[in-house]
């Protein structure tokens, strides 16, 4: 009897020794014990809510600094002069630094009269900035501003102001995708070398003529920034040939964001080259001012507030969806 009892005790001890401890349960198993705890994963324990990204904003002070550089440090930029090449290289470098694919196609410009100054024939160039991965066969917009001046003018308002706004818009579009892919072009040789269309708008005319067929079908709107730093109201112009839906869209945007704007009509900028080719266009700017085409077109002429109004309006429009052509 005593032997049987001892054998039972030994067997019981053996069974206890073979039973797994609660902490040694297989991986992935769960416990129904009310005192069991599950440690938070490292990711869960350190997870925080990321702050919402802030919308990018047009920086009028940055644009003003660019006006001062172009019209103050560089000065008059006759399209066929070496100083124009200096300005074009500077603009191209700025756009490349933003991540754009930049090219500088050149073209001939005839001799003529640059607002009273005889000028020889030569070559000029456009500065073309396309977003990385740009597909010219897909719907897109183009924003342009002429970089050249007449022979005697530093060209602060005409047209460092437009180029400065273009550079700032390109910066915003590189940080926040606009409503449609946008190509930015600083045009050469917009200023006339005599009367009539044949002696005006050389760079934009060249661009339109050399567009690949797929891009001709895909371009849905062109906007020109020309003399955009004077006044308190943003002129929103189109020519007599263009459907006015882009102009109306910009004016609606102006009312929505509270920027004073007024419709107008003219053919005196690079939008005219595109309008004649059948594209819907808009021109920002054209307020008269005393220093027009003279040595008095200096940075002090340009208003930072007006650059801001124009830039905010243009950016708000670019953020909208692509209009049908």
Q: What is the pLDDT along the chain (325 residues), one digit of tens a residue?
A: 444 433 343 333 333 333 333 333 333 333 333 344 444 444 444 555 666 667 899 999 999 999 999 999 999 999 999 999 999 999 999 999 999 999 999 999 999 999 999 999 999 999 999 999 999 999 999 999 999 999 999 999 999 999 999 999 999 999 999 999 999 999 999 999 999 999 999 999 999 999 999 999 999 999 999 999 999 999 999 999 988 999 999 999 999 999 999 999 999 999 999 999 999 999 999 999 999 999 999 999 999 999 999 999 999 999 997 665 6
* pLDDT score at 325: 63
Give the CATH H-level superfamily of domain 60-318.
Zn peptidases (3.40.630.10)
* pLDDT score at 19: 37
Nearest to 177 by CA among 319, 324, 26: 319
pTM of the model: 0.84
Q: 287 preceded by cis ω (within 30°)?
A: no
* pLDDT score at 242: 83
Q: Which residue has the tokens 């021109």?
A: 283
Q: How far apart are CA 86 and CA 75, in angstroms?
A: 11
* pLDDT score at 52: 65
**Number of residues written out for the chain:** 325
* pLDDT score at 55: 80
**In 3-state terms, what secondary structure has residue 323?**
coil
Give residues with Cβ within 8 angstroms of 130, minimum separation 6.
100, 101, 102, 103, 136, 183
Nearest to 230 by CA among 132, 146, 128, 304: 304
Nearest to 145 by CA among 270, 292, 229: 270
* pLDDT score at 54: 76
* pLDDT score at 298: 98
* pLDDT score at 229: 98
Region class of 39: left (phi > 0), else alpha (psi between -120 and 50), else beta: beta
């Amino acid at each position: 009897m005593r032997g049987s009892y001892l054998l039972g005790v030994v067997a019981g001890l053996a069974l206890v020794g073979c039973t797994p401890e609660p902490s040694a349960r297989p991986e992935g198993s769960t416990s129904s014990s009310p005192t069991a705890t599950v440690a938070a994963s490292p990711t869960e324990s350190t997870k925080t809510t990321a702050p919402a990204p802030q919308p990018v904003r047009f920086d009028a002070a940055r644009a003003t600094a660019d006006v001062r550089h172009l019209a103050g440090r560089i000065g008059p930029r006759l399209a066929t002069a070496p100083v124009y090449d200096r300005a074009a290289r500077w603009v191209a470098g700025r756009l490349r630094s933003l991540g754009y694919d930049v090219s500088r196609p050149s073209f001939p410009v005839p001799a003529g009269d640059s607002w009273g100054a005889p000028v020889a024939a030569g070559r000029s160039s456009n500065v073309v900035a396309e977003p990385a991965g740009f597909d010219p066969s897909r719907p897109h917009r183009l924003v342009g501003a002429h970089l050249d001046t007449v022979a005697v003018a530093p060209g602060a308002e005409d047209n460092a102001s437009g180029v400065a706004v273009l550079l700032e818009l390109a910066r915003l579009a590189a940080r926040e995708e606009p409503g449609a892919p946008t190509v930015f072009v600083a045009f050469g040789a917009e200023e006339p070398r005599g009367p009539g269309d044949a002696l005006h708008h050389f760079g934009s005319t060249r661009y339109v003529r050399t567009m690949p067929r797929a891009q001709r079908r895909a371009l849905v709107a062109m906007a020109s920034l020309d003399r955009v730093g004077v006044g308190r109201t943003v002129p929103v112009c189109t020519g007599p040939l263009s459907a006015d839906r882009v102009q109306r869209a910009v004016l609606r945007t102006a009312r929505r964001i509270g920027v004073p704007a007024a419709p107008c009509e003219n053919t005196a900028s690079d939008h005219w080259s595109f309008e004649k080719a059948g594209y819907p266009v808009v021109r920002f700017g054209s307020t008269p001012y005393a220093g027009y085409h003279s040595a008095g077109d200096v940075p002090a002429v340009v208003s930072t507030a007006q650059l801001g109004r124009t830039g905010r309006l243009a950016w708000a429009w670019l953020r909208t969806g692509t209009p049908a052509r």
